[in-house]
Structure 1
Amino acid sequence: MFHRPRLPQLLSGALLGLLASGVHAAATTPAPDALQPLLATINERLNIADQVALTKWDSGKPIQDTARETLVIANAKKQANERKLNPDEAAELVAAQIEANKLVQYGLIAQWQAAHKAPDVPRPDLNQLRPKLDELQVRLLQQYADFTPYRVDPDCPNWLAEQRSSLIKDTLHGQALIRATGELCVTDQ
């Protein structure tokens, strides 16, 4: 059973807690140039979730598409080898993007169900969106490869919190962006 009123409260609380923790910890070194393009691509992919949600609202298709997700993750593993990335880490990165995308879709569809309507905006066909998502994955993995040497830097979580906060447009997308970037930094914590 879906309890819609709690979702915004949970998302707001989690987002505020994570943002607040980033405010107190200032990075001692500047963020590497490789972080901003990576976050921009992650955010661009995440914003496509709004359009995907609209297509699924109209078609009645479920948000969960295990066959497509399996294919996307398998492709990421293949592409990882071309970029000298650990295939399992690339798969984890792409899986996080998928989960974040679904978080937005579930949140938006829940809002639309409560309102008994979706926004009256043009809707692309899902088959038009998938090539864009595939192109973004190629860019994402290259940018991830560029950022990989910085993942273990002790300042990585602070860089991430600082740069991610400028991309957050609302609570739902903010929570999804946090999910999408959750494993970018490798810490001993």
Structure 2
Amino acid sequence: MRPSFASWGLLALLLLQGPLLQAQPLSPALQQLLSLSSQRLQLADQVAQSKAQSGKAVQDSPREEQQLQMLAGQAGSHGVGAEQVRLLFAAQIEANKLVQYRLLSRPLPDAGQVVDLERIRSRLNQLNLELLRGYAPALAELRVDDCRPRLNQALQRQVRDDRLDELHAIALSRAAGDLCHWASL
């Protein structure tokens, strides 16, 4: 069963409420992975603006599959399995679309100029490569008994550090929600 927007919202609200009762050890590789994911999600605002201007659909299944295949093909050279890479980037794409759909459901402010989707895609490609490079070290940090509290604390910290609004906090939790499971694959 796929988690609902409300369940992701509940997780995000818990993340926004403050520190966990017992702090977990720092996980620098995980924190870096979440930082990159957050940067990727913040580009969703510009992607939504571009799609509003161009009339393009948010859902672009052929492009998504092309990206997933390309990234999965690079998995071995980064010390992770192809399926782990597909899962990570499918979650990144879904989280990004969550932001886009929500933003497009209401009037967007005028960008003042045409948003260059190719420039945004170039930055997304850079972030994807950085995510791929940091994935194996982050998974290694999550192969512990206290994975879920460690992940929740790292998410909390990222939401706070990036001053994410509720929508982007929900999307970040969606992008990272299954990392503990993926670490066990």
What TM-score results when the alignment is normalised by the length of structure 1?
A: 0.82
Q: Residue 15 of structure 1: which of 6, 12, 16 is its match?
A: 12
Higher RCO by CA contacts (8 Å cutoff, separation 6 or greater)? 2
Q: Which moved more, 1:78-87 or 1:153-162?
A: 153-162
Code of the residue aligned with 1:182 in structure 2: it is: G
SS at 2:103 equivalent: helix
CA shift, 1:127, in A, is: 1.4
SS at 1:31 equivalent: coil
Matched, 1:170 2:165: yes
Could you tell me how far apart the structure 2 residues matched to 1:171 and 1:11 are?
10
Code of the residue aligned with 2:82 in structure 1: it is: P
SS at 2:74 equivalent: helix
Matched, 1:119 2:104: no
Could you tell me how far apart the structure 2 residues matched to 1:91 and 1:12 are?
24
1:75-114 matched pairs, under 5 angstroms: 75-112=70-107
- Give the number of the structure whose alpha-carbon radius of gyration is greater: 1
Contact 2:27 2:154 in 1 (8 A): no
Percentage identity across paired residues of the two chains: 38
Show the counterpart of 2:41. Answer: 46
Matched, 1:155 2:168: no
Alignment coverage as a number of residue pairs: 174
In the alignment, structure 1 segments of 5+ residues that lack a partner are: 1-6, 113-117
Code of the residue aligned with 1:162 in structure 2: it is: Q
Q: Residue 26 of structure 2: which of 25, 28, 31 is its match?
A: 31
Contact 1:50 1:105 in 2 (8 A): yes
Matched, 1:55 2:50: yes
In the alignment, structure 2 segments of 5+ residues that lack a partner are: none
Contact 2:29 2:137 in 1 (8 A): yes
Could you tell me how far apart the structure 2 residues matched to 1:143 and 1:44 are?
14
Could you tell me how far apart the structure 2 residues matched to 1:98 and 1:59 are?
20
Could you tell me how far apart the structure 1 residues matched to 2:39 and 2:93 are?
13
CA shift, 1:148, in A, is: 1.8
> For 1:111-147, what per-residue CA distance to the aligned partner results, in whole angstroms no more than 9, with x for missing partners?
22xxxxx113354311111111111111001111111
